[in-house]
Amino acid sequence: MPLLDAAKGIACAVIVGHHLSRYGPMPAGAYTLAPDFFGWLSEDGRLAVQVFLVIAGFLAAASLAPDGTLRVERPVARILQRYGRLVMPYLAALTVCVIVAAVVRPWLDEEVVPASPTFGQLVAHGLLLQDLLGYESLSTGVWYVAIDFQLFALALVLVGLPSMLQRAGGAVPQGLRARWLPVALVFGLAVASLVLFNRNAGLDDTAFYFFGTYGLGMLVFWIGRATRFSIWQSGIALLAMIGAGALAIDWRSRIATALVTALLIAVAQRRNWLSPKHWPVAAMPLVRLGRMSYSLFLIHFPVLLAMNAAVANAGPHGSWFDAAGLAATFGLSVVAGALLYRWVEARPASWRAVFALFAALLVSGIVVSH
């Protein structure tokens, strides 16, 4: 689906720009050159995460239950597989970040540099539990990886609940009703998240806070499977009303962004724009950027730390030098993301690789802490 890849590429570029505009001395020096642009990136660039959440939900529905019923024979194995796919590049990028932070700490007097990690902090990060256990993040944006894993597991449980009850001997609807029950469960939790959970900042370390956005993506996929236009139209109208109602209760720009993203994907899906044949060759660089967007998202922060340290110690300089440093940081981040994608993310997931990368993170953290 090149269109979704391109959307991820654009969203990732905005997120990287958001972090570049907030952390270190370079954005402070370059701010005067384009205050409106840097202000927008700093304040609103974070909203691009909602694009990733909607697309992740869309793809989860396509993978787990394209017809509304779970197509996974071993749910626990599927969750573990998801963990392996997520953490292989994540652990590699965290290891790089721990090492880079230790190198630049004497040269960059900034709060943005993570402190030396503790052993418990390293283990918690490896298990994607750092936020739930109250540890400081080793890198910016790593909360998203933990939330993505939680959302996937929660979606699988919701979609697979009727099948699980049936295997346990419980009474569950059969036929068409059985097919719609998982959709109804996802719909109900998505509405509850939009109206209740997403308004409670105390839940922002859990999947319940974000499931409204993720669920929009899942529901859009299922609505797009409707063969009759009237059913599709009714489904999209219902989603739009639910989203508008949630925003009327409490306006949140993140939910508005997610709703617009979901509706645009719905239109693209209906018009068959997601098919590769409908995507121009000239846009392929964005598609390639989107395919490695996860690696870019993970690795750009240590690049940002290193470049901030280099520029901060380059002697007296002006705003244009800082702006050039930011541009170079973005370019180097793309290169680092491409390497991480090729060497780690694109390789088949295996538990041997996961354990080796986990061990590398622990060893590097222990070494730099002494």
For residue 200, the tally of other CB atoms under 10 A from its CB is: 12
Q: What type of residue sits at position 249?
A: I
pLDDT (0 to 100) of residue 72 = 80
Q: How far is CA 211 from CA 80, 151, 237, 324, 363, in A?
A: 20, 7, 20, 39, 35
* Alpha-carbon gap, residue 96 to 98, rounded angstroms: 6
Residue ranges of the chain whose pLDDT lies below 50: none
For residue 177, the tally of other CB atoms under 10 A from its CB is: 11
pLDDT (0 to 100) of residue 107 = 87
Radius of gyration of the chain from its Cα atoms, rounded to whole angstroms: 22
- CA 350, distance to chain mean position in Å, is 22
pLDDT (0 to 100) of residue 66 = 85
Q: How far is CA 155 from CA 19, 161, 214, 305, in A?
A: 29, 10, 9, 35
Q: Helix 142-167 crosses helix 293-312 at what angle (to 10 degrees)?
A: 160
Half-sphere exposure of 273 (CA within 13 A, CB side): 14
- Per the structure block, which two tokens stand in for 43? 């304040």
* Alpha-carbon gap, residue 257 to 241, rounded angstroms: 15
Number of residues assigned to the chain: 370
- CA 308, distance to chain mean position in Å, is 25
87, 330 Cβ separation under 8 angstroms: no
Half-sphere exposure of 112 (CA within 13 A, CB side): 25
**Residues of 300-315 as b/e, b for ≥16 C-beta within 10 angstroms?**
bbbbbbbbbbbbbeee
Q: State the alpha helices, DSSP H only, in the chain.
A: 2-20, 25-30, 35-44, 49-64, 75-104, 119-126, 142-167, 176-195, 207-224, 229-249, 253-270, 284-291, 293-312, 319-340, 351-368
pLDDT (0 to 100) of residue 14 = 95
* Alpha-carbon gap, residue 370 to 368, rounded angstroms: 5
**Residues of 50-59 as b/e, b for ≥16 C-beta within 10 angstroms?**
bbbbbbbbbb
Angle at 135 (CA atoms; ends 132, 140), nearest 5 degrees: 95
Q: Is 21 left (phi over 0), alpha (psi -120 to 50) or beta?
A: alpha
Angle at 142 (CA atoms; ends 193, 27), nearest 5 degrees: 110
pTM tops 0.95: no
Q: How far is CA 356 from CA 84, 100, 325, 348, in A?
A: 12, 20, 34, 14
* Alpha-carbon gap, residue 174 to 30, rounded angstroms: 62
For residue range 262-314, list pLDDT tens digits in order. 999 999 888 887 777 666 665 678 888 889 999 999 999 999 999 999 988 88
pLDDT (0 to 100) of residue 241 = 94
Angle at 239 (CA atoms; ends 236, 242), nearest 5 degrees: 150
